[in-house]
Each structure stands twice: as C-alpha cells, then as structure tokens.
Amino acid sequence: MPCSSHTRNPFTAIETPAVGVTVENLSKSFGDHVVLHDVSFSVEPGEIFVLMGPSGTGKSVLLKHIVGLEAPSSGRVLVNGHDALAKETREQVRMAMVFQSGALFNSLTVYDNLALYPREHRVSNEAGIREKVMHALQILSLEDTAQKFPSELSGGMKKRVAIARALVMEPQLMLYDEPTSELDPVMSATISEIIASLKDEYHVTTLVVSHDRDLALNIADRVGIMMDGRLIFLGTPAELREPKDAQVAGFLYPKIDLKHPRFKKLET
Amino acid sequence: MKQLNSILEGFGSTLQLLVRTFSYIGSLPRQRARFIEQCYLIGYTTLPIVAILSFFIGAVLALQAGYSMQNFGAKQFIGSLVGLSMARELGPVMVAILLAGRVGSAITAELASMKVYQEVDALETMNIPPARMLVLPRLAAVLVMVPVLAIIADLVGWFGGAIVAKYTSFISIEPEAYFSVLRRYMKFQDVMNGLIKAETFGFGVVLVCCNIGLNTRGGPREIGAAVTRAVVVSLILILVLDYFVTKILL
Amino acid sequence: MNNAQQTARVGLFFILGLALTWVTFETLSGGTLFKNKGYTLVAGFESLKELKEGDEVRMAGVKIGSVEKTRLAGRRAEAVLRIDADAKIASDATASIVMAGLIGTNYIGIDLGTAGAAPLADGAEIQTRVTPDINTIMTEIGNLGQKLEGALSAFGTTLNGDGKGGGLFQKLDKIVTDNSDRVSTTMTNLQEITTKLNKGEGTLGKLINDPALHDELIAAVAEIKSTASQAKGFITDAQGIIAQVKSGQGALGTLVYDETMANNLRVTVTNIRSVSDKLAKGEGTLGKLINDDTLYNTAQSTLKKADRALDGLGDSGPITAVGIVANSLF
Ligand SMILES: Nc1ncnc2c1ncn2[C@@H]1O[C@H](COP(=O)(O)OP(=O)(O)OP(=O)(O)O)[C@@H](O)[C@H]1O
Ligand SMILES: [Mg+2]
C-alpha cells in the first residue's frame, strides 16, 4: 500500500521522489487498425511533457498504455523502471489520470468521488480526508457541488471534478487527457497554473495531452507532436514557437482561410 | 468452434474473477458499508417478489397435486409433496431465477456501464481492483442473503399449499393434517439441501453477472446486450448446476 | 434512506432468516437440539419396524416425549426415548411400537404400569412387548379365514348330512313324524285332562298313592328336562314337545281313571324316554352334537384365534385400520 504510513496534508512537501516514464518502440493495433507506430520517447522525473496532435492519432491510447490499461502489441512502457502492465507498478508508483471523458463514478456524489481513493487506501482518517477533499474542491471552485451527483454537473464541471479527484490522490505521476478542452479561458489558465505549481512544489511528473497551445507553450518543459500514430516532433516550447517543419507549423498555426476553406478542397 | 471458444473463454474469465475476488477476502470487514448496501439490494428488496412467487408456486403445486392425486386417494400426501418439492427444488430454483432476473441483470447493467464509461479504468488507475470493490461485496452479500430468501420461499410456499389444500373443495385437507404429513416425510436435511442449492445458484449467478458486466466493451448498445446475455447465461447456469448439485447432494 | 436504517433492515432480515431456519429445524427434526430437557429411557426391540427418530412417545395416548435416537445394539435394535421431565413411568410399564395408521405412522406406546411401582430413572431400560405389525396381522387374518371356512363346512355336513346317513335335522324330523299320531293323541287327551282338572274333577291323591308310577314319571321327566335343556337352542321342535309334556305334569292324576289312557301315556313316555336315552348316550347325530365336544372345540379355538388376532391391532383396532385402507384407496 503506497505511503499509507505517513500522512501528508494536501499540497505539502512530498517525500517520495519523482518518477520517470520511458516508452520504447511502442506499437499498438486494434485488429487491422494500426493506431501507434513504433513510438519512442521518455518523460524525465519532475518534467511537464505536453503531447499534441490531431484528433484520432492515438494520444489517449498512448496514455492508457502508460497507466497499464492497454497492453502493447509490441514494444514496452516503463514507469519508474517497472513495466507499466505489472501489478506491482501501480502499487509502487502513485499514478493519477484525468480521463478525457472524466470517468467519474456516476453512483457516487462529487464528494465521495474525491474521497474514494483516500478512503480505499486509508490515507488518513475521515476528518483528514474531508480536509483534503474540500481543499481540492476549493481550488477548482467546486465547493457547491460536493453533494451533487455527476449527472447533475455541466461538462466543464465534470472535467474539473475529474482533475480534483486526481489531485486528491497526490500522485507522483499525473496524466491529463485534454484537461482544458471544455473549460473557459480563465479556468483553462487556472488549470495550467495548477499543473505548473504541482510540478514546482512537489516535482510531480506530468504528461498532458492537450490541444491547448497556450498551455503547451507556457508550462511545458518539452512538447511532442503525434500524427498518424507516429511522433513527428519532440522539442522545447521555444522550438515550437518557430517550427521548422511545415507539417508541425500547419498543425499548430492553421490559417483560417475563408476564401479557400479546407473542407471545400476535399471536393475538388 | 468460435462459439465453443467464447464459452470456454467466459468460463475461464469467470474462474479467474472468482480467484481474484477471493484473494481480496481480507478487505471485507473494511467494506462493511458496501456489503450492507448489497445485502439490502440483493436480499431485502427481493423479498416481496420472492414471497409472492413462492406463495403461488406452493399454491399451484397443491392444486395440481390435489387434482392428480385425488384419483389415487393419495390426497393426504399433498403436504409432503409440496413440502419436498418446494424445499428441494422449486424454492432454490425460483429464488435463483428471481435473483438472475432482478439482481443479476442490475449488476450486469451497472458494471457494464461502469466499464463502458471508463469508471472501471479509473478504478484500476487508482489501484482499487474492481474485483475487490465491485465483486467481493456482491458475492459476500449473495452468500448471506440467499439462504434467508430461500427459507422464506420454502415456508411461504408451504403455507400457500396449505391454504389451497384447505379451501379447495376437491382437496379440503386441514392444515394440521397437511403439516403433519409434511413433517413426517421431511427431514431438515431436505431443507438444508435446498439451501445449499440456492446458495450455489445465487453465487454462480452473481459471479457470472459480474464477469459479463466487467468484460463489456463498446457503448450503450453493448450494455443492453450484456444484460441480455447475463440473464440467459444465468438461467442456463442455474439449470445445469441444478442437475449436478442435486446429483451430488442425493 | 440513510445507512443506519439500511443496516437495521438488513440485520432484521438476516435475523428473520435465522429464526425461520431454526423454527424449520425444530419442527422437522423433532426439536432435539435445544430441548434436551427431561430424561431418557432405552427401549430394546427385535425390530423397530417403521419407527424413526422424532416419532412420538405416548403414555395412554398422551404425548410425553419423542424418539431421540434409533440405533443397533448388538443383536437388537434400540430406541432412545426422551421423556418429558414431569412424566413418571412406572418400572413395570411396558413399551410397544404402535401403528397409528397404515401409512407408516408409528409411535411408542407405553402403558401405565401398576400404581405403586417406582418410577424409572434417567437412562433406565424400559420393558418392551412385541406387537404384531400390519404384515403379521394380514397373514393372521388370511389364516383365520381358511380355518373358519373349514369349520363351517364341517358344521354344515353335520347338520344336513353327507348324503348317506342323513343329517341331524332329517333324523329329528323322522323321530317327530314316526310318533306324531301318538303325540297328537296324547295332546288331545292331555287337553281333556286339563279341562277336567279345570272343572275340579282332578284327584291328585291317586297319583300320589301309586309310588311306582310316580317314581317312574319323575325319573322320566327329570331326564327329559335335562335333555331338553341341553338341546335347547338347537331344536325348537323338540323343545316344544318337551315343554308340552312338562306342562302336563300337574294334570297327570286324571290318567288313573282311564286305563287305556294310562297305557297310552306309558307308551308315549317310554318312547320319549328311549329318544332321550339315545340322546344322552350320544347315539344319533343330535346326541353326538350334544355329547361330543370336538366340533365345539374346533369352533371355539377358531374364534379364539380370530379374537387374538384382532386384539393385536392395538388401540386403533382393525376397523380403523381397514377404514384407513379403504379411505386411502377410494
Ligand atoms: N478500444 C479500441 N478499439 C478499437 N479502436 C480503438 C480503441 N480505442 C481507440 N481506438 C482507435 O484508435 C485511434 C486513436 O484513438 P484515440 O482515442 O487515442 O485518439 P486521440 O488521439 O485521443 O484523439 P482525440 O484527440 O480526439 O481524443 C482511433 O482511430 C480510434 O478509433
Ligand atoms: Mg483522446
């Protein structure tokens, strides 16, 4: 049971060292459909790695490999040196993932959604858990929703609850699947700040899948861009500001050309 | 061949789930609240339908037995016939079928939707094994509640039979006579056998329904399909198990 | 619904289940688990027949306990009886396995024993008695039927004759027919005498003065009397004749006047006497019937056997048993 012996207040200094992630020659196909082609990269401990790419290129599938929910067709994924599929990995490394859809427990209230992990792992007593949970809800302006069920929330609220639930876990490795996709600009900025401060204060290793250019350029240590199941770019945000690759530039800074709309080009 | 394969696969994954669930048995005391909730859903809320159904099954047994036995002058044995059939066969099977229809389908629907909407994935990333949190309390609850349901089904069925035996004009056997014959030809062992059968069926039904729910892939349409499959598989399982358990217990 | 309420309901539900299971157990296994009150007795039998654990023990029809255990002990079967603490059983009371019906409902019946006898202590052995079970009774009834049939056909032959010598009734008939003239004359005469006697013409002294005739008459009458009483119940005809003779006793004095009448009477008396002599000596079939007791004994023993067999059916008796057979079959 990870870290059940020492109780920590939320957002205080972390005792456990940050962990790294290594993806080695990962390929994945569902039947005939090849989603990932020989993807290799690594995320250093305490780093913020932002993964970008067009819809449907396999970013979410890649994240699932890292938390061990999908098995690679070939290649492997190591988390802190352990195979991501092994059961021990999850026991040794505290990982949290914010699912693209939120994946909230629909039968539990927002409060119970957040309290589930600390309760199951007996992180602290009920009063301690309450403190943690309310703190996380406050950060994301969710205090009023504590007793609501997920079905009573808006899309953006669900996303924030999912982030809050991940925060309560106090993970060493945090995976976000499009955390800002449904949020207003201010809330998006808040999320970016939270991610950055988690890294600064607790050395949480972070992997963010996002289409949010501001987020990537402002808080990322490194950025990767995927296209058609391949990693086509790996570099710093500075490199990304003036992309040399036309494909990357076209993806990051698409022109909205009303005279020659893209969908009409398909017809010709 | 493909079908045989999928049957074997289902069988294997069910056993795996059973083994995994058993490995978490030590966490049951901590899951008291969940266990009680499942007891409530599986036992308490199923009681009315069990009572109604077993009453009428006992009643119709007495009626049919009375009708067919009046020609042999063996009417006075209705008590033992209803008693034994209820306790040894109909009580357990009926409770199990109700469980499959009422509880099993609900379990599959719930777990399948949790699976489809990635709640199960979320649990796994939280290092909370679904077998421990979702399956164990249900299996434990069914083990505790099914004998209660079965004994109630037996007794209500007996009384249903007694009432019909008394008030049907061509039978008219007093309850005292009915129950004295029932007592004479029944041992507690018969009731016990029935309880063991009910226990086996209930356990199998819940296990199978959990497994089918957790192995659902796809979207909402698959949730519906999973529920249908769970109920069908449960019913087949009940009758197949019935044969073997009866044979073993005889 | 809050958690506490749910827990309470589940708890109650579970307790209900336990209670019902317990009640069922108590009912079906005769309540041997928690009701170990009272004391035990051991009853040994050659065979326990249909007796099983949980059956009742009754004393004079009142339930006083149940069969706790049945077991084999060496060359006999034993039933351990659990008797209610307040039921005292005399040491000379005997237990037997009783059938309460043909469908195998048995219980142990214990009789009251003698009033002063010391009560049996815990663990003591009670005397037992073998009672016929339904199979024995059925066999017995079969045998009885055959015996009765044999006896009745022998009796029939005796009465109606076997075709050669003529039966008892034919012979009686013949006696009466042969003497009918004389008897009827006698009767007429007797009637006249009675009439005369009624008119006061009777001279009873004359009869008393003739001791020989008197003695003879007395002897004959006595003999007739005894014969008649023996034959009574079998031959009403003969009884009628003798009764008429008997009634003529007071009027015999008048016979003295009439010589022929006296002679006639004498002949008649002699005839009757010879008949009664023959009867007394055992000659003739009627005589045999009266004096030879083989036939009587045969009939008697047959009836006794029937009696015994029927006794064996115990409390309920054969009528109930047959009634139950009939009920259960029709
Ligand atoms: N379980 C699955 N079975 C079959 N195909 C799948 C499965 N999961 C994903 N895919 C396929 O893999 C491809 C990549 O899906 P994925 O969800 O990783 O896309 P994505 O990069 O996250 O896109 P988006 O930015 O829209 O979220 C898609 O074409 C999808 O159809
Ligand atoms: Mg995605």
Read off the pLDDT of each residue in C212-236 and give the average, rounded to a whole number: 62
Q: Where are the alpha helices (DSSP H) in C57-179?
A: 134-160, 168-178
Cα(C114)–Cα(C5) distance, integer angstroms: 63
Residue C299, phi then psi, degrees to nearest 5: -60, -45
The pLDDT of residue C317 is: 41
Query: Greater confidence, A72 or C219?
Result: A72
> Residue with structure tokens 């509880």?
B103
As given in the structure block, the two tokens for residue C315 are 């409390």
Burial class (CB in 10 A: 0-12, 13-18, 19+), C310: middle
Lowest-pLDDT range of A94-98, B236-240, C278-282: C278-282
Q: How far is the C-alpha of A74 from the C-alpha of A35, rounded, in Å?
A: 12
CA-closest candidate to residue B142, choices B213, B210, B199:
B199
DSSP state of B132: I
How confident is the model at residue C113, as a pLDDT?
A: 83
The dotted CATH code for A6-94+173-265 is 3.40.50.300
Residue C321 or C143, more confident:
C143
How would you classify the pairing of strands A95-98 and C56-59?
unpaired
Query: Which pLDDT value is given to residue B46?
Result: 93
DSSP state at residue A43: E
Amino acid in the structure at residue B157: G
Q: Which segment, A147-156, C23-32, C50-59, C176-185, is predicted with the most confidence on average?
A: A147-156
Q: Check residue C106 and give its pLDDT.
A: 78
What local confidence, expressed as pLDDT, does residue B237 receive?
Answer: 95
Q: Please, are residues B85 and B144 in contact by the beta-carbon 8 Å criterion? A: no
Q: What is the pLDDT of residue B23?
A: 94
Cα angle B203, B208, B211 (rounded to 5 degrees) comes to 125
Give residues with Cβ within 8 angstroms of C130, minimum separation 6: C45, C46, C96
Q: Which of C1, C6, C10, C34 to mutate to test the interface with B (most CBs of B within 10 A)?
A: C10
Residue A4 has pLDDT above 80, yes or no: no
Q: Do B47 and C6 touch (CB under 8 A)?
A: no
**Range with the poorest average pLDDT among A15-19, A234-238, B199-203, C256-260:** C256-260
Give residue A62 CA to ligand 1 midpoint distance, Å. 9
| DSSP reduced 3-state for C109 | strand
**How would you class B64 by CB atoms within 10 Å of its CB: exposed for 0-12, middle for 13-18, buried for 19 or more?**
middle
Mean pLDDT, residues B131-142: 95
Collapsing DSSP to helix, strand or coil, C325 comes out as helix
Name the amino acid, one letter, at C164: K
Please determine, for residue A166, whether its predicted confidence score (pLDDT) is greater than 60: yes
pLDDT band per the 50, 70, 90 thresholds, residue C197: low
Average pLDDT, chain C: 68
- A210 and A217 in contact (C-beta within 8 Å)? no
Which among A142, A126, A124, A123 is positioned nearest to A134, based on CA atoms?
A: A142
Closest Cα to atom 25, ligand 1: which residue?
A55
- In chain B, alpha helices (H): 2-23, 32-42, 47-69, 78-85, 91-98, 105-116, 119-125, 130, 136-167, 175-185, 188-214, 220-249
Structure tokens that stand for C293 in this block: 């007791």
Structure tokens, C158: 């005796």
Q: Band the pLDDT of A115: cuts 50, 70, 90.
A: very high
Counting residues of chain C whose pLDDT is more than 70, the rounded percentage is 45
Q: Is A138 left (phi over 0), alpha (psi -120 to 50) or beta?
A: alpha
Under DSSP, the state recorded for C75 is T
* pLDDT tens digits, C147-177: 777 777 766 666 665 555 556 666 666 766 7
Q: Which residue has the higher pLDDT, C159 or B206?
A: B206
Considering CB atoms only, which of B118, B127, B133 is closest to A101? B118
3-state SS assignment for residue A3: coil
Contact across the interface for C28 and B188, Cβ inside 8 Å: yes
Compute CA B85 distance to the chain's CA centroid, rounded to the nearest angstrom.
16
Mean pLDDT confidence for A215-237: 91
pLDDT band at residue C319 under the 50/70/90 scheme: very low
Q: What is the pLDDT of residues A240-259, one digit of tens each?
A: 888 888 888 888 888 888 88
pLDDT at C325: 46
Which residue in A35, A131, A138, A19 sits closest to A78, CA to CA? Answer: A19
| pLDDT band with cut points at 50, 70 and 90 for residue C314 | very low
pLDDT confidence of residue B152 = 95
Residue-wise pLDDT tens digits, A20-35: 999 999 999 998 999 9
Closest partner residue to C6 (CB to CB) among B37, B144, B184 is B37
Residues of B in contact with C16 (CB under 8 A): 148, 152
The average pLDDT across B39-57 equals 94
As a whole number, the mean pLDDT across chain A is 87
Tokens of C294: 């083989």
A53-67 average pLDDT score: 92
Distance from CA of B119 to the nearest CA of C (A): 24
| A227 close to ligand 1 (CB < 6 Angstrom) | no
d(CA B31, CA B29): 5
CA dist., res. C315 & res. C325, Å (int): 16
The reported pLDDT for the residue numbered C162 is 58
pLDDT at position A14: 47
Domain spans of chain B? 30-249
Where is average pLDDT lowest: C166-170, C226-230, C318-322?
C318-322
Partners of C76 in beta bridges: C73
C127-154 pLDDT tens trace: 888 876 666 767 777 777 777 777 777 6
| Average confidence (pLDDT) over A122-137 | 91
Q: How far apart are CA C295 and CA C298, in angstroms?
A: 5
Residue nearest ligand 1's atom 1 by CA: A30
pLDDT at B16: 94
Distance from CA of B126 to the nearest CA of A (A): 7
- SS3 (DSSP) at A64: helix
- Report the share of chain C in percent with pLDDT over 90: 4
Percentage of chain A exceeding pLDDT 70: 93
Buried/exposed code over A75-93 (b: 16+ C-beta within 10 A; e: otherwise): bebbbbebebbeeebbebb
Rounded distance between C-alpha atoms, residue A236 and residue A234, angstroms? 7
The pair of three-digit structure tokens given for residue C19, joined into one six-digit string: 């209670």
- Does this model's pTM top 0.90? My answer is no
At B1 the pLDDT is 80
Confirm or reject: Cβ of A100 under 6 Å from ligand 1: yes
Are the beta carbons of C203 and C256 closer than 8 angstroms?
A: yes
For residue C255, pLDDT beyond 50: no
User: Which ligand has the minimum distance to the alpha carbon of residue A211?
Assistant: 1
Within chain A, all domains assigned CATH 3.40.50.300 are found at 6-94+173-265
Q: For C41-53, what is the mean pLDDT? A: 83
Task: Compute, in angstroms, the gap from residue A60 CA to the centroid of ligand 1.
Answer: 7
Confidence label for C214 from pLDDT (cuts 50, 70 and 90): low
Ligand 1 atom at shortest distance from the alpha carbon of A70? 1
